[in-house]
Chain A
Amino acid sequence: MSRKGVSFRVKEINSDIAQFRDLSISIGAIHEEKWDEPMGPTPFPTLSTLRSWDHTLLKRYKPFYLPFCDLCCLCTYGKCDLTGTKRGACGISMSAQQSRTVLIAACIGAATHISHSRDLLTHVIEQYGSDFPLNIGGTSVEVEAPITRLVCGVKPETLGDLEPVLDYCENQVTQLLAVTHTGQEGNNLDFESKVFHAGMVDHVGMEVADIAQVSALGFPKADPESAMADLGLGTVDATKPVVLVIGHNVPPSTSIIDYLRDNGLLSEIEVTGICCTAMDIARYSAKAKIIGPISWQLRYIRSGVPDVIVIDEQCVRTDTLQEAAAIRTPLIATSDKNCLGLPDRTNDPIDAIVADFVSGKVAGALVLDMEKVGEIAVRVAQGIAPNRKKQGTLPSKDRIIELAKKCTQCMLCRRACPNDLPIPQAIKPAAGGNLGPLNELYDDCVGCGRCEPACGQKIPVHSLIVGAAEKQTREETFCIRTGRGAIQDVEIRKVGGPIVLGEIPGIVAFVGCANYPKGSREVAEMCMEFAKRRYIVCTSGCSAMSAGMYRDKDGKTAYEKYSGAFEAGGIVNVGSCVSNAHISGAAIKIASIFAKRPLRGNYEEIADYVHNRVGAVGVAWGAMSQKAAAIAAGFWRLGIPVVVGPHGTKYRRMLLGRADKDEDWYVYDARTGEKVYGGPVPEHLFFAAETKEEAMVMIAKLTMRPNDTSKGRANKLANYVDLHKRHIGGLPPDVHRLVRVPADIPLTMKSEILEHLQQHDWKEQPIPDPTLLPRMVHTRRD
């Protein structure tokens, strides 16, 4: 199908929608005709189309800004001191400046996913043709692209149909980035609305990427029983030549697997990966091994095990070339977004490149031809492994002691450490031969390496920690269920009712990066706790790996213990970062498949449904990247709350509700049109928790929705109260705000809650049929 396809003006389709004046979009999708659902009000929304919805949310969840710096230095007028009520030379206020920074982050994140999506799509179209049909889950997934259908109002059927969807995303991100120019937007809430827009567009971009790769590369198709893959440093057979892939865009890695398969070498070579490329290569071949999240980059490279490193894009340490050179391992860069100053060898003969690497003549090269990458990487690994002898840079015990003796206890390493780890206090005993305290730091260390350049004594602090944990790293032998992709329509039909009615207390999605305050283990523990409590738990990306990196007292990992189905008590690994789209997609599908709300170009109504009825919460416990900011923003626009760890306050703002302000929590009762109190649920839209315990209590609270039935609310309250009693102590102070009618009270907690209600002058409140959109009154369709 032609990329140019059909061009139309949105106003011609639905001329009474004033917002779309003058928006012209080439939709390309000839398959349009086969979709008989009428077009909703907001296909291909522009920057301002959904503004009133955003402002409705932002009125309730007001930004609380946490400036990371008093200054702005974005243009040559600056630096401008924006402290307090001061304004910059362009007139901008501190709150607008902070929201602008959030928008810049969200734009970077969205641009990164969309550009990744574009590269991936171009690659699979080159390989399989643009008419290649999308297949996300055979007949079990009919709504193949819920976000694209919702946002764009198109129903893609082939790879080629996805191209105009990306055209739209690229167009929007360009406009959003323009908003951040000096002397452009000046109001913080309008910046925030655009942050939401960036997030929504980001989710479209992610969806395109994942459905393209699932369809074309034969990844598990919405399979609750997708294969298990090995996870952890200890799973690598270091006697073999080892390839390490790092990044997010999978084609270079699939080319490696293809070469190994075609040449019968799959069992001769270890293919190992870090970050989402690892997640996706394991979806391609479950023989590939996942080492761990981003924080494992330094420790794994320094172990000396990888014989060749292939990097693509995103979250690849930018000093990988130096780290690779230190262990004499060649590096192949494969993305034009990440060239690292390397010579472009794309057009050179494979034999010449391999020879140069194996002889040590070159330390790295840029190879932009995916067909070549696989062969080069494998042959280099084979050629170099016998000579390299897995030589790493991690110090032996004796060497650690020797290095520790040089420590002056100046504290600079600790003061550079994002987790404020007591490094000097652990180095002191190491000098005397006791490596225990250093080993203890290993779990909490995010592997950033910031401690090392801080040290005036040139002590390789991170290596000392990893070296001291040598035995522990060998024992990192876990497993993970490979990313299954989408949630099946049948699963949605089964759980839609129980979720909306509250028998399943909620969907909790652990997503995002690994900048954890206390290591991976907390993510695994939280996943297991919520699965045990019969929530539906979803995982993706680095968090999905962390979820598997811990064994409970029965010796089982989360993925061995719980099913991979989207059901109460399931732990569902959807896949890599871009697979996050299946989590927001599932919430959208509950509205469309279970509740039969019209989907096509109908963003507000669906978001209103999700916000008021679907008890979903995102948890990005170690959120670090700009992509994580964009992903969170996509959840916010759907009214889905996101909880982050303490480092999350560095995103510069929270979106917090005020449970104590009754006037903030009124909703329309769709049955009567009256404005009625709906209770402070969900209380927040973006919240940073101080500890895992506080997070768990908040997660349980944030699954509540004004629509909960009494049975559902009682179930959610029971979990909230129980977690609060265990981790915070006592009955939660706000129970009276969350009980609407006596039947909401969990039976086993009746007397104590009744007593609390009495003390707080509690009055019964009717349970509304909630909506924030006046136009939904009397027009309910379910």
Chain B
Amino acid sequence: MPLNESWQTGEIPGPKKASLIVKPDIADAMIRRAKRPILIVGHGILEYEVEGLRLIDCLIELAKKGKIPVVVTASTNKEFLARGYIPAAIMPAVDIANRLTDATWKGIDGKDTYDLAIFVGLPYSMEWTILSGLKHFAPGVKTMTLDCVYQPNASWSFPNSTIKEWAASLRAIVANLGD
């Protein structure tokens, strides 16, 4: 499967397309470089389990190690709470994205704007349109997706990959962050 084609074949955005995260260290470097990253987790991640690892656990670890505040959408919160992890905020996806387009918004903690928004687990086309909104209207925010499919409207996206490859990449990112 072509690595940098939209997962939904018809969703062709235009001239500006996401750079590929070909190796986990790229994502890792981006996260390290960011001054104020934020992680937005949609309900889609609840489905995934690879070799006994639930991806939600992987993301919790990522958030903890990278000290990244987590915004949960839809019912994702329940699963986080069930794991004893309290997200920084509960907010619908369009609401958090809308706030990210506001250059004067001081973030969930009221301290400062975010410079990196990491998305994972929204329905593909919804994530696509939301990332497009940010691409055009949030110039100060870089976006990254951690889904197993290519999201052309992000600044950086994983290529289309199998669940296994994807899980391995996520694990590697988490491991690197722990260094």
Residues of A within 8 A of B (CB): 64-71, 81-85, 94-95, 411-412, 415-416, 418, 420, 454, 517, 646-647, 649-650, 652, 654, 656, 658, 660, 687-691, 693-694, 698, 727-730, 732-733
Which residues of A have CB within 8 Å of B98?
A: 64, 654, 656, 658
Q: Assess the A656–B132 pair: CB atoms within 8 A.
A: no
Q: Assess the A690–B43 pair: CB atoms within 8 A.
A: yes
Which residues of B have CB within 8 Å of A647?
A: 125-126
Which residues of A have CB within 8 Å of B123?
A: 420, 517, 646, 690
Residues of B within 8 A of A (CB): 1, 7-10, 12-16, 42-43, 73-75, 77-78, 81, 89-90, 92-95, 97-99, 101-102, 122-126, 129-130, 132-133, 135-137, 139
Complex: A415 Cα to B149 Cα, angstroms:
10
Q: Assess the A690–B135 pair: CB atoms within 8 A.
A: no
Q: Assess the A83–B14 pair: CB atoms within 8 A.
A: yes
Q: Assess the A694–B92 pair: CB atoms within 8 A.
A: yes
Complex: A517 Cα to B73 Cα, angstroms:
16
Q: Assess the A656–B94 pair: CB atoms within 8 A.
A: yes
Which residues of B have CB within 8 Å of A68?
A: 129, 132
Q: Assess the A418–B16 pair: CB atoms within 8 A.
A: no
Task: Name the one of B16, B97, B126 contacting A646, with C-beta atoms under 8 angstroms.
Answer: B126
Determine which residue in A416, A654, A658, A690 has the highest number of CB atoms from chain B within 10 A of its CB, and name it. A690
Complex: A729 Cα to B43 Cα, angstroms:
13
Which residues of A have CB within 8 Å of B136?
A: 65, 67, 70, 82-84, 94
Query: Can you show 27 pairs from A to B with CB atoms below 8 A apart?
Result: A64-B94, A64-B97, A64-B101, A65-B137, A66-B133, A81-B15, A83-B14, A95-B137, A411-B1, A416-B9, A418-B8, A420-B8, A646-B122, A649-B125, A649-B126, A650-B129, A654-B98, A656-B95, A687-B94, A689-B92, A690-B43, A691-B43, A691-B74, A694-B74, A694-B75, A729-B78, A729-B81
Complex: A5 Cα to B131 Cα, angstroms:
54
Q: Assess the B8–A415 pair: CB atoms within 8 A.
A: yes
Q: Which chain A residue lies CB-closest to B82?
A: A729
Complex: A668 Cα to B42 Cα, angstroms:
38
Q: Assess the A729–B133 pair: CB atoms within 8 A.
A: no
Determine which residue in A64, A67, A83, A418 has the highest number of CB atoms from chain B within 10 A of its CB, and name it. A64
Which residues of B have CB within 8 Å of A646?
A: 122-123, 125-126
Which residues of A have CB within 8 Å of B102?
A: 658
Complex: A691 Cα to B136 Cα, angstroms:
25
Q: Assess the B15–A66 pair: CB atoms within 8 A.
A: no
Q: A191 to chain B: closest CB distance in Å?
A: 16
Q: Assess the A66–B130 pair: CB atoms within 8 A.
A: yes
Determine which residue in A415, A654, A656, A730 has the highest number of CB atoms from chain B within 10 A of its CB, and name it. A415
Which residues of B have CB within 8 Å of A658?
A: 98-99, 102
Q: A67-B136, A650-B129, A730-B77 are in contact. Are A690 and B14 (CB under 8 A)?
A: no
Complex: A94 Cα to B9 Cα, angstroms:
24
Complex: A654 Cα to B130 Cα, angstroms:
10
Task: Name the one of A65, A84, A693 contacting B74, with C-beta atoms under 8 angstroms.
Answer: A693
Which residues of A have CB within 8 Å of B9?
A: 412, 415-416, 454
Complex: A708 Cα to B123 Cα, angstroms:
35
Q: Assess the A66–B129 pair: CB atoms within 8 A.
A: yes
Q: Which chain A residue lies CB-closest to B89?
A: A733
Determine which residue in B12, B78, B101, B132 has the highest number of CB atoms from chain A within 10 A of its CB, and name it. B132
Q: Assess the A727–B125 pair: CB atoms within 8 A.
A: no
Q: Assess the A81–B14 pair: CB atoms within 8 A.
A: yes
Complex: A412 Cα to B130 Cα, angstroms:
24
Which residues of A have CB within 8 Å of B130?
A: 66, 649
Nearest 5 interchain pairs by C-beta: A70-B14, A729-B78, A649-B129, A66-B129, A646-B126
Q: Assess the B75–A70 pair: CB atoms within 8 A.
A: no
Which residues of A have CB within 8 Å of B7?
A: 415, 420
Which residues of B have CB within 8 Å of A689?
A: 74, 92
Q: Assess the A727–B75 pair: CB atoms within 8 A.
A: yes
Complex: A656 Cα to B102 Cα, angstroms:
12
Q: A386 to chain B: closest CB distance in Å?
A: 43
Q: Assess the B124–A420 pair: CB atoms within 8 A.
A: yes
Q: Which chain B residue lies CB-closest to A98?
A: B136
Complex: A94 Cα to B93 Cα, angstroms:
22
Complex: A732 Cα to B92 Cα, angstroms:
12
Complex: A64 Cα to B92 Cα, angstroms:
14
Q: B81 to chain A: closest CB distance in Å?
A: 5
Task: Name the one of B92, B99, B101, B137 contacting A690, with C-beta atoms under 8 angstroms.
Answer: B92
Complex: A64 Cα to B99 Cα, angstroms:
10
Q: A610 to chain B: closest CB distance in Å?
A: 24
Q: Which chain B residue lies CB-closest to A693?
A: B75
Q: B45 to chain A: closest CB distance in Å?
A: 12
Q: Which chain A residue lies CB-closest to B13?
A: A70
Which residues of A have CB within 8 Å of B94?
A: 64, 649, 654, 656, 687-688
Q: A84-B139, A649-B94, A728-B78 are in contact. Are A70 and B133 (CB under 8 A)?
A: no
Which residues of A have CB within 8 Å of B137?
A: 64-65, 94-95
Q: Which chain B residue lies CB-closest to A651?
A: B129
Complex: A420 Cα to B151 Cα, angstroms:
14
Q: A418-B125, A656-B98, A690-B92 are in contact. Are A70 and B16 (CB under 8 A)?
A: yes
Q: B91 to chain A: closest CB distance in Å?
A: 8
Determine which residue in A65, A82, A85, A454 has the highest number of CB atoms from chain B within 10 A of its CB, and name it. A65
Task: Name the one of A95, A654, A688, A690 contacting B42, with C-beta atoms under 8 angstroms.
Answer: A690
Complex: A83 Cα to B94 Cα, angstroms:
20
Q: B161 to chain A: closest CB distance in Å?
A: 12
Q: Assess the A690–B95 pair: CB atoms within 8 A.
A: no
Complex: A418 Cα to B42 Cα, angstroms:
18
Q: Assess the A83–B135 pair: CB atoms within 8 A.
A: yes
Complex: A70 Cα to B17 Cα, angstroms:
10
Complex: A693 Cα to B78 Cα, angstroms:
12
Which residues of A have CB within 8 Å of B73?
A: 690, 694
Q: Assess the B13–A69 pair: CB atoms within 8 A.
A: yes
Q: B179 to chain A: closest CB distance in Å?
A: 33
Complex: A320 Cα to B62 Cα, angstroms:
51
Complex: A733 Cα to B86 Cα, angstroms:
12
Task: Name the one of B42, B77, B133 contacting A65, with C-beta atoms under 8 angstroms.
Answer: B133
Task: Name the one of A85, A660, A698 contacting B92, with C-beta atoms under 8 angstroms.
Answer: A698
Complex: A559 Cα to B73 Cα, angstroms:
32
Which residues of B have CB within 8 Å of A83?
A: 14-16, 135-136
Q: Assess the A84–B135 pair: CB atoms within 8 A.
A: yes
Complex: A418 Cα to B126 Cα, angstroms:
11
Complex: A653 Cα to B12 Cα, angstroms:
18
Q: Which chain B residue lies CB-closest to A415?
A: B9
Which residues of B have CB within 8 Å of A416?
A: 8-10
Q: Which chain B residue lies CB-closest to A62?
A: B98
12 further contact pairs, Cβ within 8 A, besides A412-B9, A420-B123, A694-B73:
A83-B16, A83-B135, A416-B8, A416-B9, A416-B10, A420-B7, A647-B126, A649-B130, A658-B98, A660-B99, A690-B93, A691-B74
Complex: A81 Cα to B126 Cα, angstroms:
22
Which residues of B have CB within 8 Å of A688?
A: 94, 126
Complex: A81 Cα to B136 Cα, angstroms:
11
Determine which residue in B14, B101, B124 has the highest number of CB atoms from chain A within 10 A of its CB, and name it. B14
Q: A83-B16, A415-B7, A687-B94 are in contact. Are A67 and B132 (CB under 8 A)?
A: yes
Q: Assess the A690–B133 pair: CB atoms within 8 A.
A: no
Complex: A691 Cα to B95 Cα, angstroms:
14
Q: Which chain B residue lies CB-closest to A732?
A: B90
Q: B178 to chain A: closest CB distance in Å?
A: 28
Q: Assess the A64–B133 pair: CB atoms within 8 A.
A: yes
Q: B58 to chain A: closest CB distance in Å?
A: 20
Which residues of B have CB within 8 Å of A694?
A: 73-75, 92
Which residues of A have CB within 8 Å of B1?
A: 411
Complex: A55 Cα to B43 Cα, angstroms:
35
Q: B124 to chain A: closest CB distance in Å?
A: 5
Which residues of A have CB within 8 Å of B97?
A: 64
Complex: A46 Cα to B162 Cα, angstroms:
56
Complex: A71 Cα to B136 Cα, angstroms:
12
Q: Which chain B residue lies CB-closest to A688?
A: B94
Q: Which chain A residue lies CB-closest to B86?
A: A730
Q: B49 to chain A: closest CB distance in Å?
A: 15
